[in-house]
Amino acid sequence: MLTSIAGRAVIVTGASKGIGKGIARVFAAKGAKVMLAARGAADLDAAVGEIRAAGGTAEAQVCDVTDWGSVQALVAATEAAFGGVDVLCANAGVFPQKKIVDLSPEDWDHVLATNLKSAFLCVKACIPAFERKGGGRVVLTSSITGPITGFPGWTHYGASKAGQLGFLRTAAMELSRYGVTVNAVLPGNIVTEGLEGLGEDYLRQMAESIPLKRLGAVEDIGHAALFFASDEAGYVTGQTIVVDGGQVLPESLDAMNEI
Ligand code: NAP
């Protein structure tokens, strides 16, 4: 049982939908004060309303994680609202599917900026706040795609998610001097607005390839993030956890038929 998160100030980016909203809900249910960030104000306000209706403490900040000034404003707003920052969940991301032949340089830059540069910007912006608090936690949302698996149409996405892990290993070393741990959750296929946008065929095909025989829920990722953010995980840094229902395990198509 993790008991250490109540009262902590937590930033979750990409929190208006999907996994980010799930992370925010899980942390708020454990008594954390959560700052939800995304670009779209309407979805953000709706997510904050859901958390407050369930008895949680939440605020919203419109933020584009690719923009340095916007990210700095997010951290300042969190310190103003909650008196500091204890946990950063850098989760915002996009996953438009396009094969290399159709992929433009602009498509590449958009995905790398949203998924990878944003991790650098968010971590950098939080360092002074973590210093003021004497410690902190960073939890990145990476993916199995890139670090472990490949899928046609996601070279840019896979590069961004594998890049996050390269970033985190050195960031974990650099931020140790501030008492900050840096870890990452690698989700498999989690039911979110973004994933549903990939279509019925994609969802069915993915569910069939998962040993636990279901797509993941956003809370599955929230609970893993909660572990990394807890006092109990204070000696864990630079690490990753795969949360995918066993999706990366089968060695062949036939292996699934043997289950
Ligand atoms: P989603 O349902 O599409 O939600 C994405 C969230 O990110 C939204 O709140 C969106 O809000 C926000 N966002 C996008 N661009 C942003 C920007 N520039 N600045 C600030 N916020 C931004 O996606 P999801 O499925 O929950 O995915 C969340 C994270 O998990 C991503 O990093 C994704 O790569 C990762 N992941 C997901 C899965 C999965 O199966 N779902 C699997 C592996 C990894 P606005 O558009 O309003 O800004």
Closest ligand 1 atom to the C-alpha of 216?
Answer: 40
Q: Which residues, 6 or more positions from 57, have their beta carbon under 8 angstroms from its beta carbon? A: 28, 32, 33, 34, 51
Token pair 């795969």: residue? 242
Instruction: Place 253 in a pLDDT band, splitting at 50, 70 and 90.
Output: confident
Q: What CATH homologous superfamily does 9-245+252-257 map to?
A: NAD(P)-binding Rossmann-like Domain (3.40.50.720)
pTM exceeding 0.95: yes
Alpha carbon of 52 to ligand 1 centroid (Å): 22
Q: Which of 72, 140, 156, 192 to mutate to test the pocket of ligand 1 (most atoms within 8 A of CB)?
A: 192
Domain segments of the chain as ranges: 9-245+252-257
Q: What is the pLDDT of residue 4?
A: 81
Instruction: Place 1 in a pLDDT band, splitting at 50, 70 and 90.
Output: low
**CA pair distance 106, 122, nearest whole angstrom:** 22
Q: What are the pLDDT digits (tens) for 48-85?
A: 999 999 999 999 999 999 999 999 999 999 999 999 99
Paired with 35 in beta bridges are: 11, 59
For atom 5 of ligand 1, the residue with the nearest CA is 14
Question: The tokens of 139 are what?
Answer: 């939890």
